[in-house]
């Protein structure tokens, strides 16, 4: 028989992409090519194996592997709902994971910052997978350093604006710090799905969970869009915005959240925003059931990649606010 080479994560080229079994092979995100050189890429995908700042259940360090494994089912075909194979259009590279020394927890944030900074000097966007929510702060610092402050759309059960003190890293304080460090365009930012209380409110626009769930997808997207406007916008998607019935594998679950489809459809509805990057955080595989949470997380990223692919196939590039009509 002819020898057939699988492992697109290693072998992928423009001309020789092969659908490979979902249950075997090297696991990059959606089997896209692994490369430490991201020069000129539209997207670098970066794993963040860190859970040292979780206030409750640790385990998000395992999320990059788990999300890559869940994403294997999306290999090599046109994807729903765009019906595009995003990698036919996008130059997307899986950079692998950020190095984080488990014995030097306070060095994790500077490590993430310098890794993202280095990636953003070479490619258009970074998508990070895994980690507790503390990872978002150094990512935003890198964005702000190179490109100025960004608007934020935060899907989350928690506002993450709890108070903090120096030399303390928590997954519940990054937003307060990001605003203090002027990484965020607060007037264009919005938090969606919140169902926890912080006394010291920072005046961020919030759509609470029950209100968000009561709105149709189009109404919810309109509320978000009217806040963000034409600003470059960064998506931080905490998987705990979903109800624990849909995402049990997370660090600090809160009942009463979104169904998976409501969140996915809202993101898809917002494909005209000027997205500049995203993270997918708080997937905690040790508490997952049947890979449900990892699959939901992988699907959020799969939708985001489709948005970029749709933009690029229509406009030739992935930035800017453009209506992407695929219906």
Catalog residues that contact Mn ion under the rule CB under 5 A.
156-158, 238, 240
Q: Which is nearer to Mn ion, 91 or 236 (CB)?
A: 236
The residue among 172 and 277 lying less far from Mn ion, judged by its C-beta, is 172
Which CB atom, from 33 or from 158, has the smaller least distance to Mn ion? Answer: 158
- Nearest distance, CB of residue 242 and Mn ion, angstroms: 10
106, with CB counted inside 10 A (0-12, 13-18, 19+), is exposed
Tokens of 239: 């998987």
Closer of 44 and 153 to Mn ion (Cβ): 153
Least Å from the CB of residue 258 to Mn ion: 12
Strand ranges inside 37-134, DSSP E: 43-47, 92-97, 125-129
Rounded least distance, CB 157 to Mn ion, Å? 5
Nearest approach, Cβ of residue 91 and Mn ion (Å): 32
Q: Which residues are CB-contacts of 288 (< 8 A; sequence separation ≥ 6)?
A: 66, 248, 249, 294
Return the number of the residue (31 or 158) whose C-beta is nearest Mn ion: 158
* 280 strand-pairing partners: 129, 237
Burial class (CB in 10 A: 0-12, 13-18, 19+), 198: middle
Q: What does the alpha-carbon distance between residue 68 and residue 326 come to, in Å, rounded to a whole number?
A: 27
Smallest separation, CB 132 to Mn ion (Å): 9
Written as one string, the DSSP assignment of 164-222 is --TT---TTSHHHHHHHTT-B-GGG-EEEEE-S--SS----EEEEHHHHHHS-HHHHHH
Sheet holding 151-155, edge to edge: 92-97, 43-47, 125-129, 274-281, 232-238, 151-155, 190-194, 205-208
Q: How far is the CB of 190 from Mn ion (least distance, A)?
A: 15
Question: Which two three-digit tokens encode residue 45?
Answer: 């995908």
CB 281 within 8 A of CB 249: no
Q: How far is the CB of 284 from Mn ion (least distance, A)?
A: 11
Closest CA to 298 of 255, 264, 272: 264
Cβ-closest position to Mn ion: 158
Give 32 or 128: the residue with its C-beta nearer to Mn ion: 128
Nearest to Mn ion of 160, 269 (CB atom): 160
In this complex, which beta carbon is closest to Mn ion, that of residue 69 or of residue 240?
A: 240
Phi, psi (rounded to 5 degrees) for 293: -70, -45
CB of 55 to Mn ion, least distance (A): 10
């Amino acid at each position: 028989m002819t020898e057939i080479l699988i492992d697109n994560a290693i072998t992928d080229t423009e001309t020789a992409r092969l659908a490979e079994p979902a249950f075997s092979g090297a696991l990059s995100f959606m089997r896209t090519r692994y490369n430490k050189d991201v020069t000129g890429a539209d997207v670098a995908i970066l794993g963040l194996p860190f859970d040292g700042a979780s206030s409750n259940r640790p385990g998000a360090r395992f999320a990059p592997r788990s999300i890559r494994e869940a994403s294997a089912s999306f290999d090599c075909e046109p994807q729903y709902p765009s019906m595009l194979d995003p990698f036919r259009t996008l130059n997307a590279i899986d950079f692998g994971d950020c190095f984080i020394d488990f014995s030097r927890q306070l060095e994790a944030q500077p490590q993430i910052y310098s890794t993202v900074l280095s990636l953003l000097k070479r490619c258009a966007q970074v998508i990070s997978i895994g980690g507790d929510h503390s990872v978002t702060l150094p990512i935003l610092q890198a964005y702000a350093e190179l490109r100025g402050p960004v608007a934020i759309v935060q899907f989350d059960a928690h506002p993450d604006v709890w108070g903090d003190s120096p030399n303390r890293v928590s997954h519940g304080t990054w937003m307060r710090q990001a605003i203090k460090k002027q990484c965020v365009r607060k007037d264009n930012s919005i938090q969606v799905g919140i169902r926890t209380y912080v006394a010291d409110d920072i005046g961020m626009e919030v759509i609470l969970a029950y209100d968000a769930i009561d709105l149709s997808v189009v109404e919810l997207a309109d509320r978000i869009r009217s806040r963000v406007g034409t600003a470059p916008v960064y998506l931080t998607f905490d998987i705990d915005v979903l109800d624990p019935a849909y995402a049990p594998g997370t660090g600090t679950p809160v009942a009463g959240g979104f169904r998976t489809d409501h969140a996915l459809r809202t993101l898809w509805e917002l494909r005209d925003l000027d997205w500049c990057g995203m993270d997918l955080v708080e997937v905690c595989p040790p508490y997952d059931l049947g890979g449900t949470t990892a699959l939901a997380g992988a699907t959020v990223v799969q939708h985001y990649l489709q948005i970029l692919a749709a933009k690029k196939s229509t406009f030739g590039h992935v930035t800017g606010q453009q209506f992407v009509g695929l219906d």
